[in-house]
Amino acid sequence: MARCLIGCGSNLGRRRQQLDRAIELMRFMPGVTLVGVSRFRETVPVGGPSGQEAFLNGACLIETDLPPQEVLSMLTAVENTLHRNREERWGPRTVDLDLLLYDDIVLDTDCLTLPHPRMSTRRFVLEPCVEIAGKAVHPLAACTLDEMLASISAPRPHVAVVGVPASGVADVARAVSESSLGCFVAAPRPLPAAAASAPEWCGTLSAWRAAMDEIDCDASAHGIVSDFWMETLMIAARQSLPEEPLSRLETQFVRAVAELPAPHALLVLVAPVTKLAADAWQARLQESLITAVRDPEYRSPLKAKAIVFIDATDPRRAATDALAAVEAMV
């Protein structure tokens, strides 16, 4: 029997009654055993159209012998029974049921992504999940859900927005900073080009590290938003530098980041393949960056526990999605 965490929400009609009804419908589904249900919390809508009513959010834990796709179909059937409307992205809904975790399965298809791709910065998801399954492990972050919640609960969190140059990182990071009243930290030097010399890579490392040391935020800032992540430098260097200068850079990197805390959240902008078609180096770098961030075995003291991937095809929508991910941390 697999253990599944399911996020539950409602902001239309009789919210509590609809959530209770959804849970009862799941309880009596063949092949499903209801293990636990969290308390419901009233939360402010994040993202989506303005003017929505507040949500009631919670979570439930089930055991099932159904495969992931059939669990998703079961949840969709319950939503349909309760007249869920799907015409508007992140719009108001009578009930919303999200499959968050299915044991330790990692899956990415057109219909289903596991773990849920936006759960790690959503306080309204993590708090009820921690109440009933705090020691459940997020298979990509390789940490427990209570550790993930603690990470996004820092008083002044650092959110790093990362991606290849073509993904529009700087513009998105600045937009998030301005909208969320964060302290913006820009990379003082761009990521070196593929053909850059070893001294250029070392100089960029020193400049980026100095920028993290020199952060001077106004007391009113709610947090830090940077348009670079120190680890990106090493991921890129491993594709570009010969063995000997790479080894020297890695030694310098380890010393440079020894006392630097990891970001509390990482927003990874993913540029469309068509946009990278003419730049093989950026295409390889994006693939390596995504692989590193998604690999629970990738060891780095700078790897965040909360990670969200954002489609950067449309710059305006990417900024909106990034802001929603940050607002959900509050």
Which alpha helices (H) appear in the chain, and where do they start and end?
15-27, 68-81, 123-133, 145-152, 169-180, 198-213, 230-240, 243-256, 273-276, 280-294, 315-327
The gap from C-alpha 71 to its chain's centroid, in whole angstroms, comes to 23
- pLDDT 10s digits, 178-223: 998 789 999 999 999 999 999 999 999 999 999 999 887 777 788 9
- pLDDT 10s digits, 223-275: 999 999 999 999 999 999 999 999 999 999 999 999 999 999 999 999 999 99
Burial annotation 155-178 (CB, 10 A radius, 16+ → b, else e): eebbbbbbbbebbbbbbbbbbbbe
In 3D space, the residue among 208, 243, 242 whose CA is nearest the CA of residue 228 turns out to be: 208
- pLDDT 10s digits, 43-64: 999 888 888 999 999 999 999 9
Contact call for residues 63 and 20 (beta carbons, < 8 A)? no
Do the bridges between strand 265-270 and strand 158-162 make them parallel or antiparallel, or are there none, so unpaired? parallel
In 3D space, the residue among 205, 256, 215 whose CA is nearest the CA of residue 235 turns out to be: 205
Contact call for residues 38 and 128 (beta carbons, < 8 A)? yes
> What is this structure's pTM?
0.94
Residue 168, amino acid:
G
pLDDT at position 189, please? 96
The catalytic site residues sit at 84, 93, 96, 98
In 3D space, the residue among 62, 234, 223 whose CA is nearest the CA of residue 156 turns out to be: 223
Which residues lie closer than 8 Å to 292 by C-beta, 6 or more apart?
A: 231, 235, 298, 300
Contact call for residues 93 and 11 (beta carbons, < 8 A)? yes
* Average pLDDT of the segment spanning 158-167: 96
Q: How is domain 158-327 classified at the architecture level of CATH? A: 3-Layer(aba) Sandwich (3.40)
Contact call for residues 10 and 95 (beta carbons, < 8 A)? yes
Domain 2-150 has CATH 3.40.50.2300: no
Domain ranges within the chain, ordered by starting residue:
2-150, 158-327
Integer Cα distance of 5 and 127 in angstroms? 12
More confident residue, 7 or 214: 7
